[in-house]
């Protein structure tokens, strides 16, 4: 069985704090948008997934719009692709 990838749409929640002494990390909430076969994804993304196990996209790519159904990202949103264990 070929490997599969799970696609998440994530929204970073950035604290609205202004301080110079402390660092506040953003927390992301991710929602699964589905599980896909690797052969439907562009080759450059498949290569990255096979090497690193994960890919982060901060802008939707035109070659993924039809596949994922995500046309536009709002502020602090990103797409996370994660290779599933076989």
CA 41 vs CA 3, 44, 69, 80: distances in Å: 12, 8, 13, 13
Closest CA to 33 of 71, 73, 68, 76: 68
Residue 24 has pLDDT above 90, yes or no: no
Q: Quick: pLDDT tens for 41-83.
A: 999 999 999 999 999 999 878 888 778 888 788 888 999 999 9
pTM given for the model? 0.82
């Amino acid at each position: 069985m070929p490997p599969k990838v799970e696609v998440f749409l994530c929204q970073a929640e950035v604290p609205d704090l202004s301080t110079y002494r402390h660092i506040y990390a953003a927390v992301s909430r991710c929602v699964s948008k589905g599980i896909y076969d690797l052969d439907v994804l562009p080759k450059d993304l498949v290569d990255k997934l096979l090497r690193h196990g994960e890919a982060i996209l901060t802008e939707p790519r035109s070659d993924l719009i039809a596949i994922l159904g995500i046309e536009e990202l709002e502020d602090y949103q990103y797409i996370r692709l994660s290779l599933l264990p076989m």
